[in-house]
């Protein structure tokens, strides 16, 4: 049974309000026949049925708000295969309604026509029927009316218009009191009699100065004639009720006294038969002098290209301004722009010249309420958040434009997000002394930097840190189509042309045996838990710490969480069981890691939506600074395997319907989802340097806040974002000029990106230079590469910023073309990373990372490049011991291959002694063991490749000349624990470094597999 949905009626339009149902249940409807009437923020219009059928059920009612692509009516298809359906164009139906012809008669004539029934065909059929009626039986008693010459001329023009004009219409509302005040202000300029309509006509004509389409005549399909000045026509009613036309010459050039005089003369000429409209008239002005004529869609009569109608005041105190126009000359954007400018001019004129508001005057909340009410169509409470009135992005932009026009202010398009109530908007229009930037005193604590000593990631197109940096260096996103098994029972909404995401190759694989987990329990575990377990191991190895040395210590685990698709998938399949009870519980994202490593610090899972990961990092930094932790594991993960969130996000307009998602680009239309995980290991910097840990970067400042009462439940608060960045800089003891790179939250939405840009501009106000290349602050976003990892996004941003300050290169915004036109030009030295750029400096590099949660919770981190430090003295050249171990022979061979590949890359830190110390002191010892003895890296790499290929064996330890080394090697190969530090002189243990992590042996573990099912009793 076919369903008819709300069509896409214009760019940026997301919903309509149903104002009238033109058919009832049981009625038949033809293709292209009007079915229901809707109201948008720009116009009222009838929506036609794309198919023929019989109404089975209305899915909406009068007054309902329906989203674009939402089903509104269900039809029963009544098409008969033996009857050919003849198309009836919309303009033919318009003419039929004007002539009083019902739908059944129209359908019969269409079938007789055997072709599209055009307006001229309909006129001929009507004329023929009238001729037949003249020869029919005598009519009952009646009076004949002879059409006057004026009426006949008007009717001919109307009929000609139906054949030559493609009609369209658009409407706006304005407070009747505002228009009355405009008329009062104009009366002060002229002694001529002034009505509200006279004032309206004058302002409508003046507005065409900036809109040449309203001064255009269509000569043919290929040619237009644009007049320098406006020739306007007035529809004038005679004493007999006939309509005649008065013409105003050069109406857009007259001042008001001149216009009022010309207006009176034109009407007098028309009423005495001396006025006429020629082919230079392009705009007609109309109203009906009746309190009931509140809304009408006027007819466009050629050669005019538009007719503007002023409705009578309605019960809400508003008047409709309706612009009907020829779509062959004007498009919807041009019509909307003209109406917006007309309303703005009326509002400016409504303020008397002696009381003109300047930017220095206070804006009264009542006046701002009137402006907002004009846009919303309802009068808001001055202290209510405007979002609760169904505010759309387009309406928010229009409110800012009209306030600017009225007060001469310069509010940004995002003003409503900054000031979400009428009273806040009024305050924003009232200048205040510049606030003094102060930093609230905080309780005394240790504010020393925190070292990022280890990191691991698994991201789309990147199985580790090095692969991720290579991905950023290539400058291309890794978005792709989403396989159906990832989004079961998902149907893309209308208008979505590409269902894409940045996905991992496999989220079902897991090395359950490594972690001592049964296959059934593994299948019940959220893939996010599995990713975090494996990456926590790799991150600890990246820090060159033997994982078993953490047991019993004060290591805290802090995990950022978001949605659990796996839990929702289990619920949908009815697979609630013991394994999924803890396997999908958010608390276990952190608790599982703490249990496995046997660490006794805090174990916290935190969910603040998109800012979860950096919020978790903030908690970890506080715990380290307070001394409640000696080290911290911080992580976050996100996987996609259920359709609920995808469907909800598309319907909410959050996701890119084109599958692009480049932050700050003018074509941005929403974000693209991504999946993956990042885990970091943190220590106080002083402790890391003391313990000889590798340092990737340092965390100098962290701030977390909430936006409080904003423009809506999911709307950002720009002032809070600004305060957040300032607080993080204060925590770091830095000024904004110290920053050289900013990893942006980067929502890739038309207004989200400008809000973030404005917040950053405000936070850095007053700085003349920054510390990045060309003395500017460069802005980028990893979301343009790997998508939005939602709860894990903040740690992806942190990892990106850490690599930027470590390696001295800023990656480009992937897919970037040109900046979002809503980004404000600023004196702050900001630069979008349109291309990759080297960042060469002898000074420390500083970068900021933004992360903003959907619910208003925000986090910001300041990252600094690692400090330069002199390496400890290394042992003299000689034979070194390189131990390798794994749980299986296959894993050992893979580990050897990975190490050989890594060590073959030229890196300054890859000295033989550092590699040996890392493998000895920074790795767990497993049962399958090998030992390579060599003095140099070249021989080590050759031996590793032989081991990986099973084509050789390491040199036996008995050849070692050093008896301590020989004994240590022998005991270690027999499976005993050894003291590797005995091989190094006191105080001369080499610097440990990041090397390849353990090669987990994955096996599929999934809910629907047989192993996942609980045994039945």
User: pLDDT of 175-220, one tens digit each?
Assistant: 888 888 888 888 877 766 678 888 999 999 999 999 999 999 887 7
- Mean pLDDT confidence for 244-257: 88
- Mean pLDDT confidence for 934-945: 93
Cα dihedral 158, 163, 164, 168 in deg (nearest 10): 80
What span, in angstroms and rounded, lies between the C-alpha atoms of 403 and 204?
19
User: Which of 338-342, 349-353, 876-880 is most confident?
Assistant: 338-342
pLDDT value of residue 374? 84
Q: Residue 965 has which token pair?
A: 């080394």
137 lies in some domain: no
pLDDT value of residue 779? 97
Q: Residue 609 has which token pair?
A: 């939506």
Q: Residue 56 has which token pair?
A: 């089975």
pLDDT value of residue 90? 57
Centroid of chain to Cα 768: 30
- Looking at the predicted structure, is the pLDDT value of residue 956 above 60? no
User: Which of 144-148, 193-197, 652-656 is most confident?
Assistant: 652-656
Q: Which of 123-132, 422-431, 679-688 has the lowest average pLDDT? A: 123-132
- Looking at the predicted structure, is the pLDDT value of residue 817 above 50? yes
751 and 674 co-located in one domain? yes
The answer for residues whose C-beta is within 8 angstroms of residue 646's C-beta and 6 or more apart is 482, 487, 490, 499, 640, 655, 673
Strand blocks (E) in 707-791: 741-743, 777-780
pLDDT value of residue 106? 74
397 and 526 co-located in one domain? no
CA angle 112, 116, 119 (to 5 degrees): 95
Which residue did the predictor score with more confidence, 765 or 110? 765
- Looking at the predicted structure, is the pLDDT value of residue 444 above 50? no
Spell out the SS3 assignment of 518-531. CHHHHHHCCHHHHH
321 and 369 co-located in one domain? no
What span, in angstroms and rounded, lies between the C-alpha atoms of 575 and 569?
9
328 lies in some domain: yes
Range of the domain at 324: 170-217+227-290+302-349
- Looking at the predicted structure, is the pLDDT value of residue 354 above 60? no
610 and 475 co-located in one domain? yes
User: Which of 7-21, 32-46, 385-399, 598-612 is most confident?
Assistant: 598-612
Dihedral sign of CA atoms 406, 409, 414, 418 in order: negative
- The Cβ of residue 170 has, within 10 Å, a number of other Cβ atoms equal to 23
What span, in angstroms and rounded, lies between the C-alpha atoms of 716 and 416?
10
pLDDT value of residue 1016? 44
Q: Helices (H), strands (E): how many in the chain? A: 29, 36
Residue count (the chain):
1017
438 lies in some domain: no
Contact 370, 178 (CB under 8 A): yes
pLDDT value of residue 709? 80
pLDDT value of residue 712? 67
Q: Output the domain CATH number for residue 66.
A: 2.40.50.100
The answer for residues whose C-beta is within 8 angstroms of residue 999's C-beta and 6 or more apart is 886, 891, 894, 895, 898
Q: Residue 71 has which token pair?
A: 């089903």
802 and 655 co-located in one domain? yes
Q: Residue 818 has which token pair?
A: 């040109």
Q: Output the domain CATH number for residue 625.
A: 3.40.47.10
pLDDT value of residue 1011? 53
pLDDT-based confidence at residue 360 (cuts at 50, 70, 90): very low
Contact 928, 887 (CB under 8 A): yes
Centroid of chain to Cα 181: 41
374 and 489 co-located in one domain? no
995 lies in some domain: no
Q: Which residue is it, tokens 């007259």?
A: 254
What span, in angstroms and rounded, lies between the C-alpha atoms of 101 and 122?
10
- Looking at the predicted structure, is the pLDDT value of residue 84 above 50? no
What is the 8-class DSSP label of residue 61?
-
Largest CA distance in the chain: 133
Please write the tens of the pLDDT for every residue from 878-928: 889 999 999 999 999 999 999 999 999 888 888 999 999 999 999 999 999
Dihedral sign of CA atoms 747, 753, 755, 760 in order: positive
- Looking at the predicted structure, is the pLDDT value of residue 387 above 90? no
Of the candidates 439, 308, 432, 396, the one whose C-alpha atom is nearest the C-alpha of residue 728 is 439
pTM tops 0.75, yes or no = no
Report helix, strand or coil for 63.
Answer: coil
Of the candidates 480, 499, 855, 856, the one whose C-alpha atom is nearest the C-alpha of residue 655 is 499
Which residue did the predictor score with more confidence, 104 or 207? 207
- The Cβ of residue 826 has, within 10 Å, a number of other Cβ atoms equal to 14
Contact 993, 694 (CB under 8 A): yes
Backbone angles phi, psi at 618, to 5 degrees: -60, -40
| Bridge partner residues of 81 (DSSP) | none
Contact 907, 896 (CB under 8 A): no
The answer for residues whose C-beta is within 8 angstroms of residue 942's C-beta and 6 or more apart is none
Please write the tens of the pLDDT for every residue from 972-1002: 999 999 999 888 887 688 989 999 999 999 9
What is the 8-class DSSP label of residue 541?
H
Burial of 945 (0-12, 13-18, 19+ CB in 10 A): middle
- Looking at the predicted structure, is the pLDDT value of residue 866 above 60? yes
Backbone angles phi, psi at 2, to 5 degrees: -70, 145
- Mean pLDDT confidence for 120-139: 57
pLDDT value of residue 362? 52
Contact 511, 1001 (CB under 8 A): yes
Contact 755, 414 (CB under 8 A): yes
103 and 176 co-located in one domain? no
- How large is the C-alpha radius of gyration of the chain? 37
- Mean pLDDT confidence for 741-747: 94
What span, in angstroms and rounded, lies between the C-alpha atoms of 236 and 286?
8
417 and 490 co-located in one domain? no
- Looking at the predicted structure, is the pLDDT value of residue 146 above 70? no
Q: How far is CA 281 from CA 217, 230, 269, 287, in A?
A: 8, 7, 16, 18
Which residue did the predictor score with more confidence, 499 or 356? 499
Contact 902, 948 (CB under 8 A): no
- Mean pLDDT confidence for 589-617: 96
Burial of 498 (0-12, 13-18, 19+ CB in 10 A): middle
pLDDT value of residue 744? 96
- Looking at the predicted structure, is the pLDDT value of residue 314 above 60? yes
- Mean pLDDT confidence for 98-102: 65
pLDDT-based confidence at residue 546 (cuts at 50, 70, 90): very high
Q: Residue 910 has which token pair?
A: 């890859």
What span, in angstroms and rounded, lies between the C-alpha atoms of 401 and 415?
10
Report the mean per-residue pLDDT for the chain: 84
251 and 372 co-located in one domain? no
Q: Residue 114 has which token pair?
A: 């055997």
pLDDT value of residue 876? 53
User: Angle, to 10 degrees, between the axis of helix 196-207 and the axis of helix 256-271?
Assistant: 110
**E strand or H helix that includes residue 684:** strand 676-684
Report helix, strand or coil for 699.
Answer: strand
pLDDT-based confidence at residue 839 (cuts at 50, 70, 90): very high
**DSSP secondary structure string, 615-680?**
HHHHHHHHHHHHTS-SEEEEEEEE----SHHHHHHHHTT-B-TTS---TTBTT--SB-EE-EEEEE
Cα dihedral 104, 107, 111, 115 in deg (nearest 10): 170
Give percent above pLDDT 70 in the chain.
84
999 lies in some domain: no
587 lies in some domain: yes
Which residue did the predictor score with more confidence, 518 or 806? 806
pLDDT value of residue 801? 97
Report helix, strand or coil for 379.
Answer: coil
Of the candidates 789, 754, 813, 564, the one whose C-alpha atom is nearest the C-alpha of residue 671 is 789
pLDDT value of residue 12? 60
- Looking at the predicted structure, is the pLDDT value of residue 654 above 50? yes
Contact 87, 31 (CB under 8 A): yes
What span, in angstroms and rounded, lies between the C-alpha atoms of 622 and 620?
5
pLDDT-based confidence at residue 119 (cuts at 50, 70, 90): low
What span, in angstroms and rounded, lies between the C-alpha atoms of 850 and 329?
46
685 and 783 co-located in one domain? yes
pLDDT value of residue 404? 79
pLDDT value of residue 681? 98
- Looking at the predicted structure, is the pLDDT value of residue 772 above 90? yes
- Looking at the predicted structure, is the pLDDT value of residue 1008 above 50? yes
Contact 636, 613 (CB under 8 A): yes
Q: Which residue is it, tokens 């794309």?
A: 50
Please write the tens of the pLDDT for every residue from 161-175: 555 678 888 889 898
pLDDT value of residue 82? 41
- Looking at the predicted structure, is the pLDDT value of residue 438 above 70? no
- Mean pLDDT confidence for 312-327: 87
- Looking at the predicted structure, is the pLDDT value of residue 586 above 50? yes
622 and 604 co-located in one domain? yes
Q: Which residue is it, tokens 């009952």?
A: 140
Please write the tens of the pLDDT for every residue from 150-162: 555 555 555 555 5
Dihedral sign of CA atoms 614, 620, 622, 624 in order: negative
Which residue did the predictor score with more confidence, 492 or 117? 492
Of the candidates 268, 332, 273, 325, the one whose C-alpha atom is nearest the C-alpha of residue 297 is 325
Domains: count for the chain: 6
143 lies in some domain: no
- Looking at the predicted structure, is the pLDDT value of residue 127 above 90? no
pLDDT value of residue 39? 77
Q: Output the domain CATH number for residue 978.
A: 3.30.70.3290
Strand blocks (E) in 713-793: 741-743, 777-780
What span, in angstroms and rounded, lies between the C-alpha atoms of 537 and 145?
96
444 lies in some domain: no
91 and 38 co-located in one domain? no
pLDDT-based confidence at residue 222 (cuts at 50, 70, 90): confident
Give percent above pLDDT 90 in the chain.
47
Contact 336, 395 (CB under 8 A): no
């Amino acid at each position: 049974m076919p369903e008819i949905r709300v069509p896409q009626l214009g760019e940026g339009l997301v919903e309509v309000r149903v104002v009238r149902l033109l058919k009832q249940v049981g009625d038949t409807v033809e293709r292209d026949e009007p079915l229901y009437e809707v109201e948008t923020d720009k116009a009222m219009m009838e929506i036609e049925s794309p198919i023929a059928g019989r109404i089975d059920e209305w899915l909406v009612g009068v007054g309902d708000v329906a989203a674009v692509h939402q089903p509104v009516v269900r039809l029963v298809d009544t098409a008969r295969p033996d009857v050919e359906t003849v198309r009836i164009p919309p303009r033919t139906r318009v003419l039929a309604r004007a002539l009083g012809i019902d739908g059944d008669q129209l359908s019969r004539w269409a079938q007789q026509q055997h072709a599209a029934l055009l307006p001229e065909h309909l006129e001929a059929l009507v004329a023929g029927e009238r001729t037949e009626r003249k020869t029919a039986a005598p009519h009952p008693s009646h009076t004949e009316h002879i059409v006057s010459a004026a009426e006949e001329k008007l009717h001919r023009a109307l009929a000609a218009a139906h054949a030559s004009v493609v009609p369209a219409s658009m409407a706006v509302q304005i407070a009747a009191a505002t228009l009355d005040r405009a008329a009062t202000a104009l009366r002060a300029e002229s002694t001529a009699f002034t009505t509200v309509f006279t004032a309206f006509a004058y302002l409508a004509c003046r507005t065409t100065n900036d809109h040449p389409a309203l001064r255009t005549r269509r000569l043919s399909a290929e040619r237009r004639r644009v007049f320098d000045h406006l020739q306007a026509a007035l529809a004038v009613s005679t004493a007999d009720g006939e309509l005649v036309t008065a013409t105003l010459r050069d109406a857009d050039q007259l001042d008001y006294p001149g216009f009022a005089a010309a207006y009176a003369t034109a009407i007098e000429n028309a009423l005495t038969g001396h006025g006429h409209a020629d082919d230079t008239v392009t705009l007609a002005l109309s109203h009906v002098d009746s309190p009931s004529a509140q809304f009408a869609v006027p007819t466009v009569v050629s050669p005019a290209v538009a007719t503007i109608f002023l409705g009578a005041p309605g019960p809400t105190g508003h008047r409709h301004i309706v612009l009907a126009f020829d779509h062959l000359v004007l498009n919807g954007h041009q019509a909307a722009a003209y109406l917006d400018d007309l309303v703005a001019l009326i509002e400016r004129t409504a303020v008397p010249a002696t009381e003109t508001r300047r930017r220095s005057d206070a804006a009264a909340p009542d006046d701002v309420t009137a402006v907002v009410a004009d846009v919303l169509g309802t009068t808001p409470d001055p202290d209510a958040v405007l979002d609760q009135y169904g505010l759309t992005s387009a309406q928010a932009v229009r409110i800012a434009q009209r306030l600017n026009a009225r007060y001469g202010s310069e509010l940004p398009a995002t003003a409503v997000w900054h000031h979400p109530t009428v009273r806040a908007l009024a305050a924003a229009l009232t200048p205040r002394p510049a606030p003094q930037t102060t930093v609230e005193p905080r309780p005394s604590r240790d504010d020393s930097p925190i070292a990022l000593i280890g990191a691991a990631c698994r991201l789309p197109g990147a199985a580790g840190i090095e692969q991720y940096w290579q991905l950023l260096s290539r400058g291309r996103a890794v978005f792709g189509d989403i396989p159906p098994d990832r989004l079961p029972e998902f149907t893309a909404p209308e208008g979505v042309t590409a269902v894409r995401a940045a996905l991992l190759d496999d989220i079902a694989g897991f090395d359950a045996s490594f972690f001592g987990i049964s296959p059934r329990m593994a299948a019940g575990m959220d893939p996010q838990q599995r990713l975090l377990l494996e990456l926590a191991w790799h991150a600890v190895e990246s820090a060159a710490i033997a994982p078993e040395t953490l047991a019993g210590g004060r290591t805290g685990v802090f995990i950022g969480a978001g949605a659990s698709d796996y839990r929702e998938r289990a619920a949908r399949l009815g697979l609630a069981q013991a394994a999924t009870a803890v396997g999908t519980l958010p608390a276990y994202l952190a608790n599982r890691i703490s249990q496995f490593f046997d660490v006794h610090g805090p174990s916290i899972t935190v969910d603040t939506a998109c800012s979860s990961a950096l919020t978790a990092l903030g908690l970890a930094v506080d715990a380290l600074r307070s001394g409640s932790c000696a080290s911290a594991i911080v992580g976050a993960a996100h996987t996609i395997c259920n359709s609920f969130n995808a469907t909800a996000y598309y319907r909410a307009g959050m996701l890119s319907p084109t599958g692009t998602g480049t932050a700050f680009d003018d074509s941005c239309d929403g974000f693209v989802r991504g999946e993956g995980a990042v885990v970091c290991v943190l220590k106080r910097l002083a402790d890391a340097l003391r313990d000889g840990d590798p340092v990737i970067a340092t965390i100098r400042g962290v701030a977390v806040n909430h936006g409080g009462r904003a423009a809506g439940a999911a709307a950002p608060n720009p002032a809070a974002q600004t305060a957040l960045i300032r607080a993080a800089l204060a925590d770091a003891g830095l000024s904004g000029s110290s920053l050289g790179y900013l990893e942006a939250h980067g929502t890739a939405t038309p207004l989200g990106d400008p809000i973030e840009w404005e917040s950053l501009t405000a936070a850095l106000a007053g700085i003349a230079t920054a510390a990045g290349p060309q003395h500017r602050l460069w802005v980028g976003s990893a979301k343009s590469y790997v998508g939005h990892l939602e709860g894990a996004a903040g740690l992806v941003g942190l990892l990106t910023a850490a690599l930027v300050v470590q390696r001295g290169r800023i990656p480009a915004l992937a897919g970037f073309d040109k900046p979002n036109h809503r980004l404000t030009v600023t004196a702050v030295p900001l630069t979008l990373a349109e291309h990759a750029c080297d960042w060469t400096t002898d000074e420390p590099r500083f970068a900021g990372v933004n992360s903003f949660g959907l619910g208003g919770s925000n986090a910001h981190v300041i990252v600094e490049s690692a400090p330069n430090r002199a390496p400890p003295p290394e042992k003299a050249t000689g034979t070194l011991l390189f131990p390798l171990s794994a749980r299986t022979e296959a894993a050992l061979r893979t580990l050897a291959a990975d190490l050989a590949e890594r060590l073959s890359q030229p890196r300054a830190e890859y000295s033989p002694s550092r590699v040996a110390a890392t493998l000895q002191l920074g790795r767990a010892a497993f049962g399958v063991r090998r030992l390579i003895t060599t003095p140099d890296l070249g021989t080590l790499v050759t031996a590793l490749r032989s081991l990986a290929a099973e084509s050789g064996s390491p040199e036996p330890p008995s050849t070692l000349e050093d008896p301590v080394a020989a004994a240590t090697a022998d005991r270690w190969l027999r499976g005993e624990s050894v003291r590797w530090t005995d091989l190094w002189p006191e105080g001369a243990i080499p610097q440990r470094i990041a090397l390849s992590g353990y090669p987990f042996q994955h096996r599929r573990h999934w809910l629907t597999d047989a192993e996942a099912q609980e045994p039945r009793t």
